[in-house]
Amino acid sequence: MPAVIFTDSVSLRLGEESLSLPQRVESQIGASQSSPWAWEGPTAPVNAPAIPVSPPYPPQAVITAPWIRAPHVALPANDTGVNPNPGTLPEVLKSPIPAGPPGSTPTSPTPPAGANSRATLNGGGSLSRVIKASGTLKIRPFLAASGNGRMEVFLSDPGGAEKKFSGKSLLEWIRNNDTTNSPLYFKGSKKSESMFLQNPPNDWSAKSGLEYSIDVTQGQTVRLKTSGSGIGSSRLEIQGPI
């Protein structure tokens, strides 16, 4: 039989010990009535709905690198065991992340042998380069002359013998003056696109933006040479495994 509580008044105490607030229950509970607070035994648990909680601050960037969350792991310590330059968090975040695991020394990637490199000859002079790996050599000539000018590119085998193309060097450009139509020769073939008519009917000029390519092998030598008068703005560039 469930327990029954009979009462006709309730007294509550709020605040200080000396204060009390008596409250009378107006409806009487008879002998045949059971109290609404009757003990009925355990009840099933109530599942309260989940309350969404918004963070009081904007989301921050997540730092996943352990040596950034703990920069002392990546930075060396001095004789006393204290990091000599711990820095502040903004400084750590702006510093480059090491390429390796914590404690390793970051290194710049080393270009492989025969990487794509350039060499440029401005105006008159000469230069030579050895082919470091088999690949493609690009040649960009521009022979601007106010008088006469000559531009040549020689390609030699590892033994020193020059390769000829229809009796000519790899690239050959000869201008006797600054108006005649004098196209260059590449691998023995005339390249008419190397000149353009600037002022009709007979004023020709060298075209810029030219590029020619040739396959080369490791150990060969390429040599550039320009000469003449008024060729200060001339340019001869090579690019490839040199």
Mean pLDDT of 230-237: 93
**Alpha carbon distances (Å) from 56 to 51, 53, 60, 87, 90:** 15, 9, 12, 28, 22
Asked whether residue 153 is assigned to any structural domain, the reply reads yes
pLDDT at 235 over 70: yes
92 belongs to a structural domain: no
Q: Is the pLDDT of residue 108 over 70?
A: no
State the pTM of this model: 0.55
Q: Which domain, by its residues, includes 198?
A: 117-240
Residue 158 lies in a domain: yes
Give the pLDDT confidence score for residue 124 in this predicted structure: 93
Predicted local confidence at residue 120, as pLDDT: 97
In the numeric block, the tokens 């510093």 are attached to 95
- Ramachandran region, residue 81 (left: φ > 0; alpha: ψ -120 to 50; beta: rest): left
Q: Is residue 10 part of a domain?
A: no
Write the pLDDT tens digit of every residue in 26-37.
445 454 455 555
pLDDT (average), residues 205-215: 97
Residue 28 lies in a domain: no
Domain membership flag for residue 99: no
**From the CB of residue 241, how many other CB atoms can be counted at a distance below 10 Å?**
21
Which CATH number is 125's domain given?
2.60.120
* Nearest-angstrom CA–CA distance, 84 and 87: 9
**pLDDT for 143-192, tens place per residue?**
998 889 999 999 999 999 999 999 999 999 999 999 999 999 999 999 99
Q: Let me know if residue 56 belongs to a domain.
A: no
Would you say residue 73 lies in a domain?
Answer: no
Q: What is the predicted pLDDT for the residue at 195?
A: 97
Structural domain count, the chain: 1
Q: How high is the pLDDT of residue 230?
A: 86
